[in-house]
Amino acid sequence: MARQQAVFLLAWALALGVGVMSSMASAAIVEHVFNVENVTVRKLCHDHVITAVNGALPGPTIQVTEGDTLVVHVFNKSPYNVTIHWHGVFQLLSSWADGPSYITQCPIPPGGNYTYNFTITTQEGTLWWHAHVSFLRATVYGALIILPKSGHYPFPTPYEEFPIILGEWWNANVIDLQTQAQALGTGPNNSDAFTINGRPGDLYPCSKNCTYKLNAVHGQTYMLRLINAALNNQLFFKIANHKFTVVAVDASYTNPYVTDVAVLAPGQTVDVLLTTDQTPGAYYMLARPYVSAQNAPPPDNTTTTGILIYDELPYTSPIMPLLPALNDTPTAHTFSSSLTSLVGSPNWRPVPTQLDEQLLWTVGLSVAPCGPPNACTGVPNIPTLRLSASINNASFQFPTSLSILQAHFFNVTGIYTADLPDQPPLKFDYTNPANSNNSALAFAFKSTRVKQVKYNATVEIVFQDTTIIGAENHPMHLHGYNFHVVGQGFGNFDPVNDPKKYNLVNPVIRNTIGVPVGGWATIRFQANNPGAWILHCHLDAHLTMGLATVIVVDNGPTPSSTLPPPPPDLPQC
């Protein structure tokens, strides 16, 4: 029997050809164990208990090669429910492993475990992983690096590569922080610090010896894999006296773009090439928030530092860069709108031009009834209203009895309704500041409304920011797909004239886009991945308020376009 199997396998491999055989030979199974547990760490002069993976902040960096199968055994030893999302991974026909709680699975309970098992297909570059339940993402995160199967990049190979993960830190329990914000009906308190690779840096109290240091050799080119893992803040990133070249964003290659500042929304990644061509010495790398919100409380105006050190030279005071102002929208917009995709690069896809679905979705803050015991304070001077957030005036409510993907797969009714409006139910002057306190426009009641599309449909979504409560740059993230950002601008979207300015040749390809404050952004993608894919604001404060929906993609006509049933050990509600 064994000999017959061997002969059969050999004949099958020869039939597929040498190319497939070499591809199979290069693929591997990459296995990790994640112990999610509470640990005590000391930062900002205090000992503090956080939830982390394998006792580290950030958690382990996962490195795979395109085509590899990733197997991660998650053991939840924390007192909280947990799931892990593999941010930016397509999960082709494996959406059961995507991870958002109550969308593709129910959470892993305390004391429980679950194994995520999926193959990395047609992707290479910098992504990341993080918790996708409650505010645990503040400390449960790490880098996910996908190396090219070809063994080389579409640019000269860098001397070394370093993940640079930007985060936020609270001197508080983040679950308590979320619970308090939800009880009051308002946003969470500002963080106490920002971090680079888990370290606040020497501008914060008791942190001089808690500063990330990058030792480099003069005259070499390095790749920095920048990741914004902050919970609620977009961030400027800069290195004193240095420019760098952007070569990829969200694991998609870009035309080289030279800049001295990068802007990252939560969830976004940016790969840059940095050449150490300055006078040998020490140079600060800094990150601090880009604050676009109008009518909002004062922001966290602090700065996290790392230090770039040439040739391990001794230093006293690193050179300090000049960062943009907190509200420097022109700099932020210039960065995001200047990026274009590298046509013909690995996994590049042309822009869909024939559209099946054209959607205009307003995004922004709103208000909702406080609910018992009528003690929330989200809206000043109105104790019966709480802050909410919505898409087309629908504020998303997560189910609790079954995940949306399970309900879709097994045709269970009563979990969601497929009636999210394609267009705003009420048309108005979306970006007129006079509407910020318009009570007739502000209400958005809770519901679990989704958008259902046919397999392989080409979809265009125009995200339109509104000034209700206050305009803000909203980073919108779509699970399961990359998309082309064909246009963006300020003011109300003009359906006649703005499409004439779309870039349909080489628009940047992303999985998370910051919708300009008081403006709009248009994305396009082909719905060729069946499943239930959450689309949400990656500011967790706004996600929990309801700035989300789900795009349910039907199965295709063939077995290779049909989602298989859930694994038997999928956590249940």
At 198-224, the pLDDT tens digits run 999 999 999 998 899 999 999 999 999
Give the separation between CA 5 and CA 141, rounded to whole angstroms.
43
Is 320 found in the same domain as 457? Answer: no
Query: Which domain does 393 fall in, by range?
Result: 357-561
Q: What is the pLDDT of residues 365-385, one digit of tens each?
A: 999 888 776 678 777 666 788
Which two three-digit tokens encode residue 421? 């409006």
pLDDT band per the 50, 70, 90 thresholds, residue 19: very low
| 163 & 146 share domain | no
CB distance 363 to 321 below 8 Å? no
Residues 127 and 222 in one domain: no
**Residue-level pLDDT at 440:** 83
pLDDT of amino acid 26: 65
478 within domain boundaries:
yes
User: What is the arithmetic mean of pLDDT over 177-198?
Assistant: 92
Task: Calculate the CA dihedral of residues 167, 173, 178, 180 and round it to 10 degrees.
Answer: -140
d(CA 478, CA 90): 10
Cis amide leading into 163 (omega within 30): no
Answer yes or no: do 177 and 94 share one domain: no
For the segment 282-304, the average pLDDT, to the nearest whole number, is 90
| Judgement on whether residues 185 and 300 belong to the same structural domain of the protein | yes
Three-class DSSP category at 544? helix
Same domain (yes/no): 263, 283? yes
Query: In whole angstroms, what is the distance from residue 422 CA to residue 408 CA?
Result: 20
525-547: per-residue pLDDT in tens? 999 999 999 999 999 999 999 99
pLDDT digits (tens, 9 = 90+) for 93-134: 999 999 999 999 999 999 999 999 999 999 999 999 999 998
For residue 415, pLDDT beyond 50: yes
**190 shares its domain with 318:** yes
Least confident span in 247-261, 264-278, 371-385, 462-476: 371-385
Amino acid 378: pLDDT: 75
Does the pTM surpass 0.85? The reply is: yes
- Assess whether 143 and 158 both reside in one domain: no
**Do 56 and 177 lie in a common domain?**
no
DSSP 119: E
Last residue of a domain, one of 150, 177, 200: 150
Q: Distance (Å, rounded) from C-alpha 221 to C-alpha 260? A: 15
Q: How many angstroms separate the CA atoms of 495 and 174, rounded?
A: 42
515 pLDDT above the threshold of 90: yes
Mean pLDDT of the chain: 92
Q: What is the pLDDT of residue 374?
A: 66
Give the pLDDT confidence of 421-474 residue by residue, as tens digits: 999 999 999 999 998 888 889 999 899 999 999 999 999 999 999 999 999 999
Q: Any bridge partners for residue 215, and if so which?
A: 309
Residues 473 and 535 in one domain: yes
Asked whether the beta carbons of 465 and 489 are under 8 A apart, the reply is no
Is residue 71 within 8 Å of 41, Cβ to Cβ? Answer: no
Domain edge (last residue) among 150, 166, 189: 150
Looking at the 3D structure of the chain, how many domains does it have?
A: 3
Q: Are strands 160-169 and 69-76 parallel, antiparallel or unpaired?
A: unpaired
User: What is the distance between the alpha carbons of residues 38 and 51, in angstroms, rounded to a whole number?
Assistant: 4
Distances 438 to 187, 290, 371 between C-alpha atoms, Å: 20, 27, 21
pLDDT in tens, 340-369: 999 999 999 999 999 999 999 999 999 988
CATH number for 489: 2.60.40.420
Burial class of residue 490, CB neighbours in 10 A (0-12, 13-18, 19+):
middle
Question: Considering the domain boundaries, does residue 572 fall inside one?
Answer: no
- Provide the b/e sequence for 463-474 (b: ≥16 CB within 10 Å): bbbbbbbbbbbb
